[in-house]
Amino acid sequence: MGMTMTQKILAAHAGLESVEAGQLIMANLDLVLGNDITSPVAINEFEKNGFNKVFDNTKVAMVMDHFVPNKDIKAAQQTKQCRTFAKSFNITNYYDVGEMGIEHALIPEKGLAAPGDCIIGADSHTCTYGALGAFSTGIGSTDMAAGMATGKAWFKVPSAIKFTLTGSLQKGVSGKDVILYIIGMIGVDGALYRSMEFTGEGLHSLSMDDRLAMANMAIEAGAKNGIFEVDDKTLEYVNGRVNREFTVYKADEDAVYDEEYVINLSEIVSTVACPHLPENTKPASELTDIVPDQVVIGSCTNGRISDMEAAANILKGKKVAKDIRVIVIPATQSVYKECIKRGYMDIFIDAGCAVSTPTCGPCLGGYMGILADDEIAVATTNRNFVGRMGAKSSKIYLASPEVAAATAVVGHIVDPKEVME
């Protein structure tokens, strides 16, 4: 019986010739990741269990990103604990104020994830690195503690769903629209504990940033992980970033899938997820009666340079609509600098946007843009659950950077093609 991409990676890391869905394995890890919220819990467990060393100080990463720069005393204490731990164990991949970025944008940027890797992170959106052809998945802080100490983790091998992509994206449509369309089609539990595997000639239409956005939201369909077949674009991206050997795994011709879908990218339109689930999707053109109080452009889903470019191209020479607050958050320091270099910062500020240092901030209702009672946000983030970005009565509409920027200018949700030059 053939294996999927995910199954091949897990077999290799478990030292087995083959694995099958449902099998329990112990796998070696290439990276263990935590942030300023989850790492302190893992550190407590690490110390409680008497561990006195990490398995490899180059394969543990801690990124201070959720409440950094610190928003309050508790956040300051959490980052202090992480800082102290990282220094004690000489963790080389520790990122704090001035160096940090939103973790799931920073890790690929720094070359810490590579094709064929097996990665765990104490954050549900660790599935992002599947865009590079890695197996990466979110775990709890206790598993993070064990991973830091032993370099291993238990897994139940997932079955898979195959998505064959054809065609090419329309103007103004991005990977965010594709994944929202798919989640709307299969539902938030449509891929529960399964691998979402993407292949097909349509991959050529997707940039690496498109793929990173799509893999990032695999968890919103309940998936264990999302993973893309490695192609020339993948190899071009990791070339010069990843400074170690890696292995590319491709699914066998006779690999077994629970379900298979063919997605014609040419047919996908700008898509928005309405409150209060990512599966509640509609075309942006059908939501023109929605007037937001706030627009957020950023996050681990859509804070990369192509997202900033898409927003800047729409906002250039325009002003945001009266009474709409617009917050732009580049995902990393590198993206921030590139925005300055390209003149995007002038565009954002001249349009009336506030620009933040890299942070998860408003996405999880942390800071830098909390919603009041009954307020509406259009955000390029990944979750729109009740109370996710603030008050329980607030409402979140998930959208692409193109939709978000166009909405900011027009004053209501709109298909970005209507304002694109």
Q: What are the residue boundaries of the structural domains of the chain, listed by start?
A: 5-265, 271-418
pLDDT in tens, 161-197: 999 999 999 999 999 999 999 999 999 999 999 999 9
Place of tokens 């050997």: 245
Beta-carbon contacts of 209 under 8 Å, excluding residues fewer than 6 positions away, are 175, 304, 305, 306, 307
Half-sphere exposure of 421 (CA within 13 A, CB side): 9
Place of tokens 């990843």: 242
Question: Mean pLDDT, to the nearest integer, of 56-84?
Answer: 95
Q: Which residues of 135-158 are buried (b: 16+ CB within 10 A; e: fewer)?
A: bbbbbebbbbbbbbbebbbebebb
- Which three-class secondary structure state does DSSP give residue 60? strand
Decide whether 5-265 matches 271-418 in CATH topology: yes
Decide: 4 and 225 in contact? Cβ < 8 Å: no
CA separation for the pair 275, 279 (Å, rounded): 9
Work out the widest C-alpha separation in the chain, in whole angstroms: 62
pLDDT in tens, 246-280: 999 999 999 999 999 999 999 999 999 999 999 99
Lowest mean pLDDT among 52-61, 140-149, 362-371, 390-399: 362-371
pLDDT class for 127, splitting at 50, 70, 90? very high
Closest CA to 278 of 161, 352, 415, 388: 388
CA gyration radius, the chain:
20
Tell me the DSSP string of 40-98: HHHHHHHHHTT--S-S-TTSEEEE--SSTTT-SHHHHHHHHHHHHHHHHTT-SEEE-TT
List, in sequence order, every beta strand (DSSP E) within 98-158: 118-121, 135-138, 152-156
- CATH superfamily assigned to domain 271-418: Aconitase, domain 3 (3.30.499.10)
Asked if pLDDT for residue 239 goes beyond 80, the answer is yes
pLDDT, position 421: 63
Length of the chain (residues): 421
How much of the chain exceeds pLDDT 90, in percent?
97
Helices (H), 159-275: 175-186, 208-216, 232-238
pLDDT, position 139: 95
Asked if pLDDT for residue 31 goes beyond 70, the answer is yes
pLDDT, position 347: 98
- Fold observed for domain 5-265: Aconitase; domain 3 (3.30.499)
The neighbouring-strand residues paired with 2 are 255
The amino acid occupying position 180 is: L
Decide: 129 and 237 in contact? Cβ < 8 Å: no
Helices (H), 151-199: 175-186
The amino acid occupying position 407 is: T
